[in-house]
Amino acid sequence: GESVGLHLPTLSVQEGDNSIINCAYSNSASDYFIWYKQESGKGPQFIIDIRSNMDKRQGQRVTVLLNKTVKHLSLQIAATQPGDSAVYFCAERGRDDKIIFGKGTRLHILP
Amino acid sequence: DSGVTQTPKHLITATGQRVTLRCSPRSGDLSVYWYQQSLDQGLQFLIQYYNGEERAKGNILERFSAQQFPDLHSELNLSSLELGDSALYFCASSVEVGTEAFFGQGTRLTVV
């Protein structure tokens, strides 16, 4: 079936450290993955995406890693800042073009 | 600002009523998605349209319906509302199916 889940519901990270948010997916036919950030009271904001023919993609302070063998996705945020506090969702697109979201990980930044 | 506009921002209505949520996609985007987000939950995919045609359907209740109009705006109709329908409803749009989707700020529906 289709499911995208996150290993940890809450992640606390010291300001300035790197954050790693993990995600497992179950649909081996998924060919496109997206990370979103949702701040309180706002809609999800696109962070970075990756297609299944890649295993790594870098953006500004963010890196997404895709391991198709174990169906695992991760988002790395470098030098975490207070403004990174949010809920992070991974999402996958299956062959039927539905984009399915996981439950989210709340990232909490410690001063 | 993502460029996706949703109205209204807030809606309070009674059980049994019907409401219509409206979404204007980003200029040039052909695909529109609707999601429901309950308190502290993830985003549940409801339905997707591409250039006026239904493209994919998720866990959308029979009491809910949607459509995308020729000008590409979309409406989500919720009828026979129940307390459990209280949630944030998000619309997103993308240029093509499968490209990154940009979300609106959502409509917060409260059913009392």
**pLDDT of B83-108, one tens digit each?**
999 999 999 999 887 778 999 999 99
* pLDDT tens per residue, range B19-51: 999 999 999 999 999 999 987 667 899 999 999
Mutate to test the interface with A, among B38, B43, B49 (most CBs of A within 10 A): B43
Collapsing DSSP states into helix, strand and coil, what is residue B84?
Answer: helix
pLDDT at position B107, please? 97
pLDDT value, residue B1: 83
Mutation for A interface: B41, B94, B100, B108, most A CBs within 10 A: B100
Burial B67-104 (b: 16+ CB within 10 A, else e): ebeeebbbbbebeebeeebbbbbbbbbbeebbebbbbb
Per the CB < 8 A criterion, the answer to whether B103 and B5 are in contact is: no
Asked if the Cβ–Cβ distance from A103 to B41 is below 8 Å, we say: yes
CB atoms within 10 A of CB A65: 17
Residues 6 or more apart in contact with residue A71 via CB below 8 angstroms = A24, A25, A26, A28
What three-state secondary structure class fits A40? coil
> What is the tens place of the pLDDT at every residue in A91-103?
998 777 788 888 7
Q: How many CA atoms lie within 13 A of A103 on its CB side?
A: 10
C-alpha distances in Å from residue B52, one per residue of A38, A51, A91, B49? 28, 26, 24, 6
* Residues of chain A below pLDDT 50: 1-3, 5-7
Residue entry with tokens 């020729």: B70
What pLDDT was estimated at residue A97? 76
Residue B68 is encoded by which pair of tokens?
């995308």
Q: Give me the mean pLDDT over the B6-29 stretch.
A: 97
Q: A-chain residues within 8 Å CB-CB of B34?
A: none
Chain B closest CA to A15's CA: distance in Å? 24
Structure tokens at A91: 């999402």
Q: In angstroms, how far is CA A66 from the centroid of its own chain? A: 10
> What would the mean pLDDT of B47-65 be, rounded to a whole number?
94
Query: Could you read off the pLDDT of A34-47 as tens digits, one per residue?
Result: 999 999 889 999 99
Give pLDDT, residue B54.
Answer: 94
Minimum distance, in Å, between the CA of residue B112 and any CA atom of chain A:
21
Which two structure tokens, joined as six digits, stand for A104?
Answer: 């989210």
Q: Are A8 and A75 in contact (CB under 8 A)?
A: no
